[in-house]
Amino acid sequence: MSFRLLSDFVRDALEVLPRMPGVAPEGIREASALLAMQTWGPRLVAEQPLLTNMAALALHMSARLEVADMRPGAAHLVHATDLHSLPAEPPRLLRAPAVLLEVRHPDRERLLDPLVSVGAYPHEGGYYVVGIDWPDGAWGGMWRPTWGDGDLASGIRLETHPMIEAQPGEHHDRIAAAARMLVVLGLLLDAEGAPLRQERETVARPAHSAASRAGVPERTTRHLYLDNRRGTSSSSSSSSGGHADLSDREQGEVPVRGHLKRQPHGPGGSLRKWVWIEGYEARRWVGSRPRTTVVH
């Protein structure tokens, strides 16, 4: 079988779904198993159980098929953005019925090496995350974040399938890294002033096409890219005041990475919003060189 992205599997299932009356996300376990077997056949599903989770992703996208296309610059921004703990609530991206994120050219682009395609849908109080790696391999597992309490890697439940060849530690790390990417991306999309841009494109199908007659939703692509018109801020700040002994220190430029900040706003600062803080060079007193103390 040639290499396929998650959107290819989702499209397969969505083309079969209209021929299965009564299938709905409410009974997601039974419905996704049935849809997977009808789409790819019972034998292949038995060999590759993760296809059931791909069918579940399709069920959650049955009303709206939107695929986020992550450009390399946008992926770099996500990875370079500092965020170590979960926000108080999920970003809008993770409040959608499902999320599907991919690269345009899997042979030379990555979301996370070797990840090129990832999807997530709400399930049992958390999210089921499915990923596809280049040039082969797929994995899946549960992520149950505790919003506002805990680090980004918390709530991972490992699951193994024949499609997964990674060691358990790698599997855990992949889910944790993908979860972090989805959270940071969602916050960047919500944040005021973030250098991330998005454009939606829907390719209209002829009304008489087989997909249109079958009721398959049109695919909308959300292009995510870096706003190259914006430069990195070169502003610097200096610290002063106090009477600390700085005789063994010197002023130097310390790079501060771009990061997200929760900022008060509204009446009396009662509301909160995410804002993007550009990376900058800050002037700080730093140690000039090691000093040796001789004790007699």
Q: How many CB atoms lie within 10 A of CB 15?
A: 16
Residues 84 and 197: their CA atoms lie apart, in Å, by 23
Q: How many CB atoms lie within 10 A of CB 233?
A: 13
Asked if the structure places residue 262 within a domain, the reply is yes
Residue 235: the pLDDT is: 37
Going from the C-alpha of 227 to that of each of 98, 215, 235, 246, the distances in angstroms are 26, 36, 19, 41
Question: Which stretches within the chain are classed as H helix?
Answer: 6-16, 28-40, 42-47, 50-60, 72-80, 168-190, 210-214
Residue 134: the pLDDT is: 94
Quick one: angle between helices 72-80 and 168-190, nearest 10?
100
Asked if the structure places residue 20 within a domain, the reply is no
Residue 101: the pLDDT is: 97
Residue 239: the pLDDT is: 37
Residue 170: which residues within 8 A CB-CB, separation 6 or more?
Answer: none
Asked if the structure places residue 122 within a domain, the reply is yes
Domain shared by 130 and 272, yes or no? no
Domain shared by 176 and 206, yes or no? yes
Give phi and psi for 14, each to the nearest 5.
-70, -30
Domain shared by 285 and 189, yes or no? no
The 3-class secondary structure across 143-184, one letter per residue, is ECCCCCCCECCCCEECCCCCCCCCCHHHHHHHHHHHHHHHHH
Mean pLDDT by 10 residues, the chain (296 residues): 90 89 68 93 93 94 92 92 82 94 95 94 91 91 81 57 43 85 93 88 62 67 82 38 47 55 65 68 50 47
Domain shared by 222 and 237, yes or no? no
Asked if the structure places residue 44 within a domain, the reply is no
What domain count does the chain have?
2
Question: 59 in helix, strand or coil?
Answer: helix
Q: Is the peptide bond before 162 cis (omega within 30 degrees of 0)?
A: no
Residue 2: the pLDDT is: 84
Say if CB 220 and CB 202 are below 8 A apart: yes
Last residue of a domain, one of 226, 249, 276: 226
Residue 124: the pLDDT is: 84
Domain hosting residue 257, numbered range: 233-296
Domain shared by 95 and 142, yes or no? yes
Residue 194: the pLDDT is: 86
Residue 141: which residues within 8 A CB-CB, separation 6 or more?
Answer: 128, 129, 156, 157, 158, 159, 171, 175
Domain shared by 213 and 273, yes or no? no
Domain shared by 204 and 75, yes or no? yes
Residues 251 and 238: their CA atoms lie apart, in Å, by 9
- Which pair of structure tokens corresponds to residue 91? 């970003």
Domain shared by 69 and 196, yes or no? yes
Residue 237: the pLDDT is: 37
Residue 44: the pLDDT is: 94
Domain shared by 256 and 292, yes or no? yes
Burial of 109 (0-12, 13-18, 19+ CB in 10 A): middle
Residue 64: which residues within 8 A CB-CB, separation 6 or more?
Answer: 97, 217, 220
Domain shared by 279 and 188, yes or no? no
Last residue of a domain, one of 226, 249, 275: 226
Asked if the structure places residue 26 within a domain, the reply is no
Domain shared by 136 and 111, yes or no? yes
Q: How many CB atoms lie within 10 A of CB 124?
A: 11
Asked if the structure places residue 45 within a domain, the reply is no
Residue with tokens 């193994």: 160
Residue 211: the pLDDT is: 54
Domain shared by 143 and 101, yes or no? yes
